[in-house]
């Protein structure tokens, strides 16, 4: 009995609610108050339509929500919601919402993923069904989640009315009651559809107007950028591009913008400029890509000069395996990429990425994107041309400096050594040396020439250079013992202006001058251990640093080193670095002393006398057998250099066509060949000093007798501890 009464009471309530709505919207024509209410609704709808005309873009969303509230309140409801179909995801999303003051705080459908939270409702929306739920009991068993949500939020009745606007995606307008159950009728549904269409048209109008405005804004931006980059200093181009990417990204509402540039051989690309919106991660984004191994499909697409566009990952072809995987890993939903081209030559690309949502790329946007790409491309090519021009000027300047330095070196060599002559010799020892020379010369191998002073090591170094592939450039010679220790480093490696006190200008080092050629380092054993370390770096890395500069200079130099010292003994005594010795000892050649090649003395005498005679205007036609026998029996401690000095002195003193030679006084006992190089050198220097009464320089001095420079002899005396007795 009580149950029947309850049901009858509930039915009476529903009928009363229906009567109330009919009274408002479906009144008989003879009911004046009902007609007035219907008229008021019509007037309200007209006012809503009128109020949405000529509204600022910034105010449209707020105004639509206000109108939703106006309609909901007129009908005695408490929630108003507008949903639009996202054409990219094909899912309905809440775009606008209004709720009355009595609604709970948690009543908020913004951001709700209907497909996940309300699957039954999502299906009704996809099928475009209108929903009129007057009581929660009307929900089917499949709508369990929807009913529980309404109960939790306090919703009593639900109306979802579909509407269509040709310029806008399909949508729904919904109103909900939080107090009374409402019996929805067809007229209410029709009225709500009309309201939905009015609001939809307003959104469509503003969407089109906003697109036009954005298009015009982008056009103005491109015009400004074009003007800016025309006169922009090259040094500011990169900074201006980064600023421009930020502005474009904000105007176009994209998540990421980037510029890639290909390497010269187009085998890889590097991201040179990028902007990301707030909240867009850079983790996983590849900044350097080997196109040959990683992105074959992408490479082919880009190098063809065609844009690469996809609105969803599914649009990337299956053959682009690496590209699809990369897009998934980085979370890219959509991309629009166009080539960077100048004079129809592709050198990179310019693109937009969407990370948070998929996006359709219109033809007008792609045209604008290509215009921006052309502006950036021309600016980057102008920057590259300027850099190439500066590099060319720098190279010309460097070549001029090197040429000037080479000319100085050549003038010094001509002044010191006179015209170049080939090695003279017919003996077996010298033939063996020449055979070794011919084998090693065509290579770039480091050569170490060993032998006593005066044996012709520098002449042999010239022979190696002239037979090498580097012969078109002059060989650079440095006598490590002839330079003060304080200047050797600057001479070898160069210096910057102000590198040390007295460095008034920049100096190019001999290694830089010898770039692409050969450097001959005579008396290598005289280098200090500090310089030996720097020299080792040149051998290992092909790099030098000028004094006073941290800049590394790459050089391609072939090294020929020479020493009359016993380097193995010097290495054992800690005076020569072991690692440097083994770097130099790639192809050692021991130059024989003159006493070991007696058969070469006669042809040497003939040629040297002829040369000296021509230089001095004397004609020497006769050399007696006795003189030649003396020359061949003399031990020649100074080797070929001593022989030339003796012959030159003899030609100077000659009064007729017959050569007469005064040989230096021989030792009373045969030389002790068990002495070290240093001991023998000390013995020879002391002997020469004693014979010249300790006269070091000048004609007839000890330096002249030994065939050395005065400064070289003093350096050796200091090193060997030779001091003039008091």
Phi-psi domain of 565 (left: phi exceeds 0; alpha: psi -120 through 50; beta: other): beta
CATH architecture of 594-720: Orthogonal Bundle (1.10)
Residues in a beta bridge with 289? 269
**pLDDT for the residue numbered 283:** 61
Summarize the chain as % helix, strand, coil (round to 5): 50, 15, 35
**pLDDT for the residue numbered 442:** 93
State the CB neighbour count (10 A cutoff) for residue 521.
24
Mean pLDDT split into 10-residue runs, the chain, 726 residues:
39 39 41 69 82 78 88 89 78 87 85 83 88 91 91 91 78 89 86 85 73 70 77 84 84 84 76 84 61 67 80 84 81 86 81 84 80 82 79 71 57 40 80 91 93 89 92 88 76 79 76 90 86 86 84 90 88 87 92 90 88 88 83 89 90 86 64 63 84 80 82 82 74
Domain extents in the chain:
2-207, 232-387, 419-590, 594-720
- Could you give the CA distance from residue 417 to residue 411 in angstroms, rounded to a whole number? 10
Q: Is the dihedral of CA 346, 352, 358, 363 positive or negative?
A: negative
Q: Which of 393, 396, 378, 394 lies closest to 234, judged by CA?
A: 378
- Could you give the CA distance from residue 420 to residue 638 in angstroms, rounded to a whole number? 21
Question: What predicted TM-score, i.e. pTM, was given to this entire model?
Answer: 0.41
DSSP code, position 506: -
Structure tokens at 103: 């609604």
**pLDDT for the residue numbered 400:** 67
- Could you give the CA distance from residue 563 to residue 520 in angstroms, rounded to a whole number? 11
Q: Which of 672, 658, 666 lies closest to 631, judged by CA?
A: 666
Would you say the CATH fold of 232-387 matches that of 2-207?
yes
Sheet holding 334-342, edge to edge: 288-290, 268-276, 256-262, 345-354, 334-342, 308-310
* Residue with token string 């729904």: 172
Contacts of 142 (CB under 8 A, 6+ apart): 120
Q: 139 near 147, Cβ under 8 Å?
A: yes
- Could you give the CA distance from residue 653 to residue 615 in angstroms, rounded to a whole number? 14
| 232-387 fold | Beta-Lactamase (3.30.450)
Contacts of 518 (CB under 8 A, 6+ apart): 461, 464, 465, 468, 470, 475, 476, 557, 558, 559, 560
Output the CA–CA distances (angstroms, integers) from residue 343 to 268, 369, 374, in the order listed. 21, 18, 10
State the CB neighbour count (10 A cutoff) for residue 206.
20
Q: Which of 476, 624, 468, 611 lies closest to 538, judged by CA?
A: 476
**pLDDT for the residue numbered 368:** 79
- Could you give the CA distance from residue 654 to residue 56 in angstroms, rounded to a whole number? 114
Helix (H, G, I), strand (E, B) or coil at 154: coil
CATH assignment of 419-590, among 3.40.50.300, 3.40.640.10, 3.90.79.10, 3.40.50.1950: 3.40.50.300
Distance, first Cα to last Cα, the chain:
149
HEC states along 686-721? HHHHHHCCCCCCCCCCHHHHHCCCHHHHHHHHHHHC
**pLDDT for the residue numbered 24:** 45
**pLDDT for the residue numbered 34:** 62
Q: 346 near 123, Cβ under 8 Å?
A: no
In degrees, to the nearest 5, what angle opens at C-alpha 69 toward C-alphas 143 and 23? 80
Q: According to CATH, what is the number of the domain 2-207? A: 3.30.450.40
Q: How many Cα atoms sit within 13 Å of 376 on the Cβ side?
A: 32
- Could you give the CA distance from residue 506 to residue 517 in angstroms, rounded to a whole number? 22
Structure tokens at 510: 């001999």
Helix (H, G, I), strand (E, B) or coil at 561: strand
Structure tokens at 474: 């002059």
- Cβ burial, residue 505 (10 Å; 0-12/13-18/19+): exposed
In degrees, to the nearest 5, what angle opens at C-alpha 255 toward C-alphas 253 and 256? 120
Q: How many Cα atoms sit within 13 Å of 365 on the Cβ side?
A: 19
| 326-345 CB burial, b ≥16 within 10 A, e <16 | bbeebbbbbbbbbbbbeeee
- Cβ burial, residue 591 (10 Å; 0-12/13-18/19+): buried
**pLDDT for the residue numbered 4:** 41
Strand 558-563 versus strand 447-450 pairing type: parallel
């Amino acid at each position: 009995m009580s149950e029947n009464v309850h049901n009858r009471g509930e039915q009476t309530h529903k009928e009363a609610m229906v009567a109330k709505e009919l009274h408002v919207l479906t009144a008989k024509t003879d009911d004046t108050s009902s007609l007035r209410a219907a008229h008021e609704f019509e007037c309200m709808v007209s006012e809503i339509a009128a109020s949405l005309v000529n509204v600022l873009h910034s105010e449209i969303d707020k105004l639509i929500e206000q109108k939703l509230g106006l309609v909901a309140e007129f009908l005695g409801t408490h929630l108003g919601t507008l949903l639009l179909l996202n054409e990219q995801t094909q899912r309905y999303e809440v775009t606008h919402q209004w709720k009355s003051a009595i609604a709970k705080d948690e009543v908020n459908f913004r951001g709700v993923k209907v497909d996940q939270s309300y699957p039954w409702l999502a299906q009704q929306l996809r099928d475009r069904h209108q929903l009129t739920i007057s009581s929660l009991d009307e929900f089917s068993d499949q709508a369990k989640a929807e009913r529980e949500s309404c109960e939790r939020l306090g919703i009593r009745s639900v109306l979802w009315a579909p509407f269509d606007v040709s310029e806008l995606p399909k949508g729904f307008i919904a109103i909900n009651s939080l107090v009374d159950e409402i019996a929805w009728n067809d007229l209410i549904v029709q009225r709500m559809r009309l309201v939905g269409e009015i609001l939809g048209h307003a959104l469509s109008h503003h969407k089109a107007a906003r697109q036009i405005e954005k298009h015009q804004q982008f056009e103005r931006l491109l015009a400004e950028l074009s003007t800016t980059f025309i006169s922009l200093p090259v040094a500011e181009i990169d900074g201006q591009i980064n600023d421009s990417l930020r502005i474009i990204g904000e105007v176009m509402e994209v998540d990421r913008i980037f510029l890639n540039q290909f390497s010269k051989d187009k085998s890889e690309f590097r991201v040179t400029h990028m902007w990301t919106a707030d909240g867009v991660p850079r983790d996983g984004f590849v900044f350097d890509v080997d196109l040959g191994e990683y992105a074959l499909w992408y490479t082919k697409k880009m190098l063809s000069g065609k844009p690469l566009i996809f609105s969803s990952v599914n649009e990337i072809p299956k053959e682009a395996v690496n590209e699809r995987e990369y897009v998934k890993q980085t979370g890219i939903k959509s991309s629009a990429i166009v080539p960077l081209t100048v004079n129809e030559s592709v050198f990179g690309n310019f693109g937009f990425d969407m990370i948070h949502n998929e996006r359709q790329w219109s033809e007008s946007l792609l045209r604008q994107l290509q215009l921006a790409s052309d502006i950036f491309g021309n600016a980057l090519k102008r920057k590259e041309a300027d850099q190439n021009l500066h590099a060319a000027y720098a190279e010309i300047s460097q070549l001029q400096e090197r040429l000037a330095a080479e000319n100085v070196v050549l003038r010094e060599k001509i002044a010191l050594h006179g015209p170049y002559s080939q090695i003279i010799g017919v003996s077996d020892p010298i033939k063996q040396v020449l055979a070794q020379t011919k084998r090693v010369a065509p290579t770039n191998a480091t050569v170490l020439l060993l032998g006593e002073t005066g044996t012709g090591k520098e002449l042999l170094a010239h022979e190696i250079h002239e037979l090498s592939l580097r012969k078109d450039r002059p060989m650079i010679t440095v006598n490590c013992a002839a330079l003060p220790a304080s200047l050797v480093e600057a001479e070898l490696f160069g210096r910057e202006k102000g590198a040390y006190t007295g460095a008034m200008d920049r100096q190019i080092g001999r290694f830089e001058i010898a770039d692409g050629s050969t450097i001959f380092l005579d008396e290598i054993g005289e280098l200090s251990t500090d310089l030996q370390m720097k020299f080792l770096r040149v051998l290992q890395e092909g790099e030098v640093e000028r004094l006073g500069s941290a800049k590394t200079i790459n050089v391609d130099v072939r090294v020929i080193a020479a020493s009359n010292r016993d380097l193995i003994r010097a290495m054992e005594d800690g005076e020569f670095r072991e690692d440097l010795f083994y770097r130099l000892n790639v192809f050692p050649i021991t130059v024989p002393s003159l006493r070991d090649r007696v058969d070469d003395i006669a042809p040497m005498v003939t040629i040297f006398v002829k040369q000296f005679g021509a230089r001095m205007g004397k004609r020497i036609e006769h050399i007696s057998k006795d003189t030649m026998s003396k020359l061949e029996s003399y031990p020649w401690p100074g080797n070929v250099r001593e022989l030339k000095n003796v012959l030159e002195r003899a030609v100077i003193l000659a009064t007729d066509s017959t050569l007469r030679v005064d040989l230096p006084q021989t030792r009373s006992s045969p030389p002790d060949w068990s002495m070290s190089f240093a001991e023998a050198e000390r013995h020879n220097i002391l002997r020469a000093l004693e014979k010249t009464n300790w006269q070091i320089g000048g004609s007839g001095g000890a330096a002249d007798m030994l065939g050395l420079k005065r400064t070289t002899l003093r350096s050796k005396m200091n090193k060997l501890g030779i001091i003039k007795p008091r």
